[in-house]
């Protein structure tokens, strides 16, 4: 396809083609919109990798109020209750929308929707497709709808800079090494998560936080950055990224054991179905003590494994593990970022013309710890909300082109970020390690390569983690165990705040 940016000038631009970006594009239809994505459609989007499904209170006996209560309990005091109520309240309509798009949710023999029980949910509430191929099936239906919508122009290109004065004026993108700009007054960032910045991760390789970096460079605040959810049960078979042994496996009764077969979570409230941060710390403690950890579904699931969890069965078999008869080796891995670009109920970022939705945004739904399967839900509800608001704002277009060369690639810089975050900003943190991370990330931010954007977000995460002198949700400080004495509050941070903290740490002569 030949790109003629001038032909697309003035159209709203969505950066990212995961669930949030594509649902937003469909919501905007029939208004013309450009979806720019750095990978071919359907690849490199975590949405297609989701296994468990979508949380929604639609089964008899369940109610949005119960879903909200579970979300708030998992969020460890930092959820915004109004946001929670609004998003989980919109879940039944989000499921209806997916059904309308043809998503074939699993049903029982009488045609009723089936739901799994996942950690920290009070009842089975996670709707799934094909057992554990939920994301793939959802994205298949959504992509088909996008491809059948002529008002949506798909552009395979990577956004590397936003052009803005007092408001958004364009996006600089790179494709096949050539940089060009799309002049537009309306941009939605839907770039997904940033788990790819850790060595052990379940995220696609492109999940490196470019959306938050684009926004932060314009001064937009990021919030809840210190809260990275480490999934307790990534398959420990040496693959990068690591395949996931989904939570629904524990929901079906699989247990966590050490190499001697000891069930080390037996005495913890809710045992293997405790919130993810609790399970991740317990698994981490076992690994730190030099023991290997396994997910054992042989008794509870046994011969049902291949039908119930076909995707996990396939990756296990490829690694020489038969989950019907053998425990599966696991370890925690960076999985979901609760933090991101601070947004309001309409997905607005505070900068005129810039919206954010999906994992790159932070609405206040998840607090300090996401409740399992609330993220696909949020991607749908907030993708729709942002698109409706953009449609209302369509009059305000200010568009400008600019000649902004793409930064040089920097695989070494990215490798160093992964090393620093894995060593110092992992399941357990302390002030000394966080200071080392900040000091090490500073030069990568400053060298103006392609690694500078993810390094900026990584630096801001380390600063936020240093500033939160307590242990809450997924953020555990070994030097500050327990909750802090002050009120629970979210900590918005700008790039300028982070630069000041770096400068002051350098003045104090922190050792790298
Ligand atoms: C293995 C796994 C299993 C999961 N299981 C579940 C589950 O069962 N239920 C649940 O609710 N959640 C689950 N999650 C989380 C959930 O999948 C994500 O939070 C959600 O899909 C995020 O959607 P998104 O649209 O924000 O981002 P994504 O789906 O990740 O899409 C991001 C898009 O942005 C593009 N992009 C990024 N940067 C740029 C750039 N600079 N320029 C252009 N394009 C860019 C990417 O190529 C991609 O197209 C899981 C995550 C993983 C990794």
Read off the DSSP letter of residue 126: E
Q: Which atom of ligand 1 is nearest to the CA of 160?
A: 41
pLDDT digits (tens, 9 = 90+) for 362-414: 999 999 999 989 999 999 999 999 999 999 986 666 778 788 999 999 999 99
pLDDT at 181: 93
**Range in 4-18, 35-49, 377-391, 420-434 with the lowest mean pLDDT:** 4-18
Identify the pLDDT of residue 394: 67
Provide the CB-side half-sphere exposure for 255 (13 A, CA). 15
- Ligand 1 atom at minimal distance to the Cα of residue 157: 43
pTM of the entire structure?
A: 0.95
Q: Using an 8 Å Cβ cutoff, are 394 and 12 in contact?
A: yes
Q: Would you say 377 and 91 are in contact if contact means Cβ atoms under 8 Å apart?
A: yes
CA–CA distance, 208 with 433 (Å, rounded to integer): 21
276 belongs to the catalytic site: yes
- Cβ of 158 less than 6 Å from ligand 1: yes
Q: Would you say the C-alpha torsion 106, 111, 117, 118 has a positive or negative sign?
A: positive
The percent helix, strand, coil of the chain (3-state, each to 5) is 35, 20, 45
Q: What does the domain layout of the chain look like in residue ranges?
A: 10-193+338-392, 233-332, 407-507
CATH code, residues 407-507: 1.20.58.100
Give me the chain's average pLDDT, please: 94
Non-local (6+) Cβ contacts of 111 within 8 A are: none
The 10 Å Cβ neighbour count of residue 112 is 10
pLDDT digits (tens, 9 = 90+) for 18-38: 999 999 999 999 999 999 999
Asked if 213 and 315 touch (Cβ cutoff 8 Å), the reply is: no
SS (H, E, C) 211-255: HHHHHHCCCCCEECCCCEEEEEEEECCCCCCCCECCHHHHHCCCE
Is the CB of 386 inside a 6 Å radius of any atom of ligand 1? Answer: no
Contact 472, 490 (CB under 8 A): no
pLDDT over 70 (residue 326): yes
What pLDDT, on a 0 to 100 scale, did the predictor assign at position 487? 81
Residue 355 neighbours by CB under 8 Å, 6+ apart? 186, 187, 188, 189, 343, 346, 347, 348, 349, 386, 389, 390
Out of 191, 201, 231, 378, give the residue to mutate to test ligand 1, the one with the largest number of ligand atoms within 8 Å of its CB: 191
Continuous segment of H or E residues that includes residue 46: none
Q: Distance (Å, rounded) from C-alpha 180 to C-alpha 224? A: 33
Question: Considering only 177-181, 254-258, 461-465, which range has the smallest mean pLDDT?
Answer: 177-181
- pLDDT at residue 103 greater than cutoff 60: yes
Based on the number of CB atoms within 10 Å of its own CB, is 209 exposed (0-12), middle (13-18) or buried (19 or more)? Answer: buried
Mutate to test the pocket of ligand 1, among 25, 119, 192 (most ligand atoms within 8 A of CB): 192
C-alpha to C-alpha distance for 129 and 54, rounded to whole angstroms: 10
CATH classification for the domain delimited by 10-193+338-392, as one of 3.30.413.10, 2.60.120.10, 3.40.50.1440, 3.50.50.60: 3.50.50.60
For residue 404, report the phi and psi dihedrals to the nearest 5 degrees: -115, 105
Task: Of 56, 76, 71, give the one whose Cα is nearest residue 124.
Answer: 56
Which residues are within 8 A (CB) of 371 and not within 5 positions of it... i.e. 6 or more apart? 55, 70, 71, 74, 75, 120, 121
Per residue in 453-498, pLDDT (tens digit) is 999 999 999 999 999 999 999 999 999 999 998 889 999 999 999 9
**Given the residues 125, 161, 250, 276, the one annotated as active site:** 276
Q: Which two tokens stand for residue 49?
A: 């990798």
Q: Which of 275, 376, 336 is nearest to 56 (CA)?
A: 376
Give distance in angstroms: CA of 20 to centre of ligand 1. Answer: 8
For residue 2, the model assigns a pLDDT of 57
Q: Whose CA is nearest to atom 48 of ligand 1?
A: 45
Q: How far apart are CA 100 and CA 80, in angstroms?
A: 30
Where do the DSSP E strands lie in 224-358?
Answer: 228-235, 255-258, 293-296, 328-337, 340-342, 354-356
State residue 490's pLDDT score.
Answer: 96
In the three-class reduction of DSSP (H, G, I as helix; E, B as strand; rest coil), residue 140 is classed as helix
Q: In the numeric block, which tokens belong to residue 183?
A: 């002049």
Q: What's the rounded mean pLDDT across residues 54-64? A: 96
212 lines ligand 1 (CB under 6 A): no
Average pLDDT of the residues in 119-129: 92
Q: In the predicted model, is pLDDT for residue 512 greater than 50?
A: no
CA nearest neighbour of 85 among 107, 68, 110, 105 = 68
CA-CA distances (angstroms) from residue 177 to 192, 210, 471? 23, 17, 44
Q: Closest residue (by CA) to atom 41 of ligand 1?
A: 159
**CATH 3.90.700.10 describes domain 233-332:** yes
CA pair distance 143, 349, nearest whole angstrom = 27
Residue whose tokens read 């670009």: 341
* C-beta 340 within 6 A of ligand 1: no
Question: What's the pLDDT score for residue 267?
Answer: 93
Is the Cβ atom of 247 under 6 angstroms away from ligand 1?
no
Given a cut of 50, is residue 288 above it in pLDDT?
A: yes
The verdict on the CB of residue 37 being under 6 Å from ligand 1 is yes
């Amino acid at each position: 396809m030949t790109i003629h940016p001038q032909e697309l000038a003035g159209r709203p631009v969505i950066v990212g083609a995961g669930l949030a970006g594509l649902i937003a594009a469909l919501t905007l239809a029939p208004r013309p919109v450009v979806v720019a994505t750095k990978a071919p459609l359907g690849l490199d989007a975590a949405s297609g990798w989701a296994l468990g499904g979508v949380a929604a209170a639609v089964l008899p006996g369940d109610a949005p109020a119960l879903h909200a209560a579970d979300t708030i309990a998992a969020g460890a005091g930092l959820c915004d209750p109004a946001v929670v109520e609004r998003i989980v309240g919109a879940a039944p309509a989000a499921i209806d929308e997916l059904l309308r798009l043809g998503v074939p949710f699993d049903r029982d023999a009488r045609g009723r929707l089936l739901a799994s029980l996942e950690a920290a949910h009070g009842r089975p509430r996670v709707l799934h497709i094909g057992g554990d191929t939920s994301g793939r099936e959802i994205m298949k239906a959504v992509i088909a709808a996008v491809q059948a919508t002529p008002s949506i122009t798909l552009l395979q290109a990577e956004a590397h800079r936003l052009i803005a004065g007092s408001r958004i004026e364009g996006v600089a993108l790179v494709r096949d090494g050539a940089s060009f700009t799309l002049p537009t007054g309306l941009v939605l960032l839907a770039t997904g998560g940033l788990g790819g910045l850790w060595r052990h991760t379940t995220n696609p390789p492109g999940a490196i936080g470019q959306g938050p970096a684009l926004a932060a460079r314009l001064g937009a605040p990021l919030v809840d950055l210190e809260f990275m959810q480490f999934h307790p049960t990534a398959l420990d078979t040496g693959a990068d990224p690591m395949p996931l042994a989904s939570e629904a496996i524990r929901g079906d009764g699989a247990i966590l054991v050490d190499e001697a077969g000891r069930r080390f979570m037996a005495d913890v409230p809710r045992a293997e179905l405790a919130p993810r941060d609790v399970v991740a710390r317990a698994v981490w403690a076992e690994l730190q003590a030099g023991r290997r950890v396994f997910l054992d579904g042989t008794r509870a699931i046994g011969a049902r494994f291949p039908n119930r969890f076909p995707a996990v069965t396939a990756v296990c078999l490829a690694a020489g593990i038969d989950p019907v008869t053998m425990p599966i080796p696991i370890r925690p891995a960076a999985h979901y970022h609760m933090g991101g670009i601070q947004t309001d109920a309409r997905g607005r970022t505070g900068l005129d013309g810039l919206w954010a939705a999906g994992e790159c945004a932070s609405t206040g739904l998840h607090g300090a710890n996401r409740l399992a399967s609330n993220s696909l839900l949020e991607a749908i509800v907030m993708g729709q909300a942002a698109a409706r608001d953009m449609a209302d704002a369509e009059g305000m277009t200010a568009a400008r082109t600019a000649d902004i060369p793409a930064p040089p690639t920097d695989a070494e810089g990215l490798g160093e970020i992964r090393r620093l975050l894995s060593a110092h900003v992992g399941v357990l943190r302390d002030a000394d390690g966080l200071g080392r991370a900040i000091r090490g990330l500073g030069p990568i931010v400053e060298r103006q390569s392609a690694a500078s954007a993810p390094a900026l977000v990584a630096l801001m995460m380390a600063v936020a983690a240093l500033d939160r002198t307590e242990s809450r949700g997924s953020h555990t400080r070994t030097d500050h165990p327990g909750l802090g004495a002050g009120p629970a509050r979210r900590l918005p941070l700008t790039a300028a705040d982070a630069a000041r903290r770096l400068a002051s740490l350098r003045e104090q002569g922190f050792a790298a």
